[in-house]
Amino acid sequence: MTSVLKNYSVILPLAALVLAFWFSPDLQEVAAGVAIFLFGILMLQDGFKLLSGGNLERLLGAATRSTPRALAFGLVSSTLVQSSSLVSVLTISFLSAGLISLIGGIGIVFGANLGTTTGAWLVAAFGLRVDIADYAMPMVAFAVVLVFQKARPVRGFGYVLAGAGFLFLGIFYMKDGFEAFRDGLDLSRYAMPGIWGLLVYTALGAAATVILQSSHATMVLVITALAAGQISYENAIALAVGANVGTTVTAMIGAVGANVQGKRLAIAHLVFNLVTAAVALILVSPLTALVDVVARVAGVGAEDYALKLAIFHTIFNTLGVILMLPLTGWLVSFLERRLPETKPDVSRPRHLNAAIDDYPETLESALRQEVSHLYDNAVKLVLHGLNLHRETVVDASDLGAAVRESREPIDLDIGDEYERRVKTLYTAIVDFATRATRHRENAPEVVARIDALRDMAGGLVRSVKSVKHIRKNVLRYTTQETGAATELYDALRTEVARVVVAIRDLDSAAPDERSTLWLDQEAARLAASTRKGERRAGALIRQGELDPSAATSFLNDASYAGAAMHELLAAARAYFAEPDRAAAELEGLLALDEDEIGAAAGRGAPGE
Amino acid sequence: MGLKKLADKVAEYQQRLAAGQAKKIEPELVEHVLDKLRRKEADLLADLASETDDAEREEVEHKLKVAREHIERAEWLQRELA
C-alpha cells in the first residue's frame, strides 16, 4: 500500500505538470521558479548543517532552556533555513531522541511559525522592488567557488550563499512567469468574494503547501501572483492562512515514525496553526483594518498589497503566539493526558531515528541512550538467566543472603528472550553505527566514539550469550538445595550480582565524582574472588562433597560467568569513559592492565 | 608494581602528543583525579573499619590495594608532568 502511494506521489505531480505545461506554456517559468526556490532552500539547509558542525546538540540544549529562548531559536532557525516545516520535523526528531523537552519543542515550533513570516517580507519588500536576478547571478557564481573548497566552514558558507542566490533566482522567475500571464490567463476572474472565498482559498493555500512541502514557497507564489494582479488581496489573505495550516501536514508526516513525545509535538503544532487560522478567519475584518493602520504608520502605500500581505502574515502569526503561549502548560498536560506514554516495547529501539543521521553529535547521543537501553535489557536477561531478579539484587543489603534466598525458578526461554530483547536492538545499533561512518572525514572523533559504543554493544551481547550456556545448570543447582554444587553456583551468582551493583553504583555517582578507575578495583576484587572459588571447588572435590561431573560443569560455567562479568565491566568502562580527551588519556595511563589486576588480587592486601 | 609499564605508556603518549594525535594532560587535571582517588581511598578505609565479616573485609582490602596503586601512579605522573 505504501509503495503504491509512493509511486502515485511521484507520478501524479509529474502528470499534472505535463498537462499544465501543455495547456499553458507560460506556466513553465512559474514552475521553474518554484523549483529553483525549493532547490535554494535545500542548499541553505545543507549549508547550515555544514556550518553547525557537531554543535547542534549543544545549541539545542542551550536554546530550549526557557520558553522565550526556544521561541527565539525557532524564529532564527526558520528564518535562516527559510523552512518552518524543516525546523518542525527536525524538532520532532530531536524530541523523539530525548534531546529536548516537549515544552522546549513547542517553543521552537511556535517560534518557527513566526520565522516563516520573514519569507513574505523577503519577497514583498525586496524581491518585487529590486531586480534581484542581478544579485542572484553573482551570488551563485561566487558560491560555486566556495562550495569546491576543502575547509568545512567555507564549504558551508558557499552552500548558504548559493542557497540564497537560488532563492532570489526562483523569486525572479516566479515574478517573471506571472508577468507573462497578464496577457493570457487572468486568474483574478476566478476570485471569490465573501465567506466562501475565504474558506475555498484557505483550503487552496493548505493544499498548495502540502504539495510544495513549504509554506514559504506558497507565500512567495501568492505574493508574486498578487503583485501581478492574478489574485485579489482578500483571496491572498485566505491563501496565507491556508499555507499555515498546510505546513502542519509535513510535521504530521514526520511524526509518524516518532515516539509519543514526537506525536504530542506534531499535534501541538496542528492545534497552534488551526487555532491561529480560525482566529485569523473570524477576525479577518479587524485584522485587515489593523494591517491598514500599520501600513499607514509604516508609510506603505494603500495599493501596495504585497507588503500589506506580509504585514498581515506577521500580525496573524504573532497573534497566534500571543494567544497560545499562555496556554502552553495547559496544552502540554492536555497532550500528556490524551496521548499517554505507552508501555515501552523493550524489544524495539527507542532513540534511533533516521532523521538525525546528518547530525553526528546528536547521532552519538541517541546511540548512547540506545546502548544504555540494550545494557538494561542485557543485564535483566543475565540476572534472570541466573534466577535472580534485578530488584532483589540492587535493593539487597546482604547480597550473598539475597542470592541464597532466590530459589524460585524464573520462567524464561533465554533463547527467545535473547532474540527479542538483545539481538533486535543490537542489529539496529550496528546498522545505525554503520550509517554514521560516513561522517568519519568530518567528525573523526565522534565516529571513533560511535565505534566504541558499537563494540560495547557487542560485548553486552556476548555477556548474554555466556549466561545462555549456564542457564541449564543454574536451574539444576540453584532452585533446590543440592549441597556443595548449590553453594558454588550461589557464589557464582553472587559475583555476577556484585558486578551489576558496582556498575549501578558508578552510574548513580555524580559525573564529577566517579571514575572508570573504580572498575579496576572491582576487577581486582573479582579476580581474587574467582581464585577463592576455584580453591573452594578443589577442596570440595578432594573432600568428596562434589562429584567430578558437577565439578567439571561448575568449572566450565565459572569460565562462562567470568567472561560475562568481564564483558559487563568492559562495557561499563567504555560507557563511563571521560568525554574530555585529556581526562580520558589520563585515565588510560593510570588504569591497570589484566596482569597488574591479577597481581593486585593475588598478593593479598595489607591489613589496616 | 607497574611504574615501569606506566613509564612505557607515558613515553608512547608523549610521542602521540608530539605528533598532534593526543591532547595535553595539564597538571591541574592530574590533581583533580588525585583528589577523587584519595576520597575513594578514604571511603574504602571507612568501609573496612565498619565491616565485621572477614570475607567482606578481604574484598575491600583488594579494592584498597588497587586504589593505592592508582594514587601512587597519579603522584608519579604528576611529578613527571610538572
The three cell numbers of residue B6 are 606506566
- Quick one: how far is CA A282 from the chain centroid? 37
- A217 pLDDT band (50/70/90 cuts)? confident
Q: How far is B15 from chain A (nearest CA, A)?
A: 13
- Pairwise CA distance, residues A227 & A381, whole Å: 67
In this predicted model, what pLDDT tens digit does every residue of A327-348 receive, in sequence order?
888 998 999 898 887 766 667 7
* pLDDT band at residue A607 using 50, 70 and 90 as cut-offs: very low
List pLDDT tens digits, range B52-76: 888 888 889 989 999 999 999 999 9
Mean pLDDT of chain A: 84
- Per-residue pLDDT band for B30 (boundaries 50, 70, 90) equals very high
Task: Give the span between the Cα atoms of B79 and B82, in whole angstroms.
Answer: 5
pLDDT of residue A466: 94
- Interior CA angle at A156 toward A154 and A158, to 5°? 70
User: Is the pLDDT higher at A29 or at A468?
Assistant: A468
pLDDT of the residue at A605: 41
Q: Which amino acid is at A326?
A: P
B71 interface with A at CB cutoff 8 Å: no
Between the alpha carbon of residue A313 and those of residues A15, A133, A419, the distances in Å are 32, 25, 54
Residues of B in Cβ contact (< 8 Å) with A603: 65
Tell me how far CA of residue B9 lies from CA of A256, A515, A590, B16, B82, in angstroms. 51, 19, 9, 11, 17
Among candidates A585, A600, A608 on the partner chain, residue whose Cβ is nearest the Cβ of B69: A600
Task: Give A515's contacts in chain B (Cβ within 8 Å).
Answer: 33, 36-37, 40
Chain A interface, mutation test: which of B9, B35, B69, B75, most A Cβ atoms within 10 Å? B69
Please tell me what DSSP assigns to residue A271.
H
Q: What is the DSSP string of A283-318?
A: THHHHHHHHHHHHHHHT--TT-HHHHHHHHHHHHHH
What gap in Å lies between CA A150 and CA A157, rounded to an integer?
12
Minimal Cα–Cα distance from A592 to chain B, Å? 8
What is the pLDDT, as a whole number, of residue A190? 64
Q: Find which of A487, A585, A595 to mutate to test the B interface (most B CBs within 10 Å of its CB).
A: A585
Average pLDDT over residues A91-103: 75
Q: Three-state secondary structure along A9-73?
A: HHHHHHHHHHHHHHHCCCHHHHHHHHHHHHHHHHHHHHHHHHHHCCCHHHHHHHHCCCHHHHHHH
Distance from CA of A509 to the nearest CA of B (A): 12
CA distance A30 to A27: 5
State whether B49 and A517 contact (CB < 8 Å): no
Q: What is the pLDDT of residues A341-383, one digit of tens each?
A: 776 666 777 777 776 777 777 788 888 889 999 999 999 999 9
State yes or no: pLDDT of A187 exceeds 60. Answer: no
What pLDDT, on the 0 to 100 scale, is given for residue A57? 61
Q: For residue A56, what pLDDT is reported?
A: 60
In this structure, are residues A313 and A353 in contact, taking their beta carbons and an 8 Å threshold?
Answer: no
Q: Which of A458, A486, A460 is nearest to A387 (CA)?
A: A486
**How many residues belong to chain B?**
82
Which pLDDT band, with edges at 50, 70 and 90, does A478 fall under? very high
Chain A residue numbers with beta carbons less than 8 Å from the beta carbon of B22 are 581, 585
Look at the block and give the residue holding cell 532564527.
Answer: A76
What is the pLDDT confidence band of residue A1, given thresholds at 50, 70 and 90?
very low
Mean pLDDT of A409-433: 91
What is the per-residue pLDDT across A252-295, written as a single tens digit (0 to 9) for each? Answer: 776 766 678 888 888 998 999 999 999 999 999 999 999 999 99
Average pLDDT over residues B7-19: 89
Chain A touched by B29 (CB under 8 Å):
yes
ipTM reported for the complex, 2 dp: 0.94
Please return the burial class of B67, using the count of CB atoms within 10 Å of its CB with bins 0-12, 13-18 and 19+. Answer: buried
pLDDT tens digits for range A511-542: 888 899 999 999 998 998 888 888 888 888 88
- The full DSSP string for B4-41 is HHHHHHHHHHHHHHHTT-S----HHHHHHHHHHHHHHH
Angle (nearest 5°) at CA A501 between A598 and A424: 100
Q: Which of the four pLDDT bands, split at 50, 70 and 90, describes residue A47? A: confident
d(CA A78, CA A607): 66
Residue A27's closest CA among A156, A185, A151, A241?
Answer: A185
**Least reliable range by pLDDT among A297-301, A389-393, A465-469:** A297-301
Q: Binning pLDDT at 50, 70 and 90, where does residue A608 land?
A: very low
Tell me what pLDDT residue B70 has. Answer: 93
Nearest by CB to residue A582, choosing from B24, B70, B73, is B24
Nearest CB to A585; choose among B6, B23, B74? B23
Q: Do A586 and B1 touch (CB under 8 A)?
A: no
Q: Check whether A210 has a pLDDT greater than 80.
A: no
Element (H, E) at A343: none
* Per-residue pLDDT, A532: 87
Mutate to test the interface with A, among B35, B62, B73 (most CBs of A within 10 A): B62
Helix, coil or strand: residue A150: coil
pLDDT at A603 over 60: no
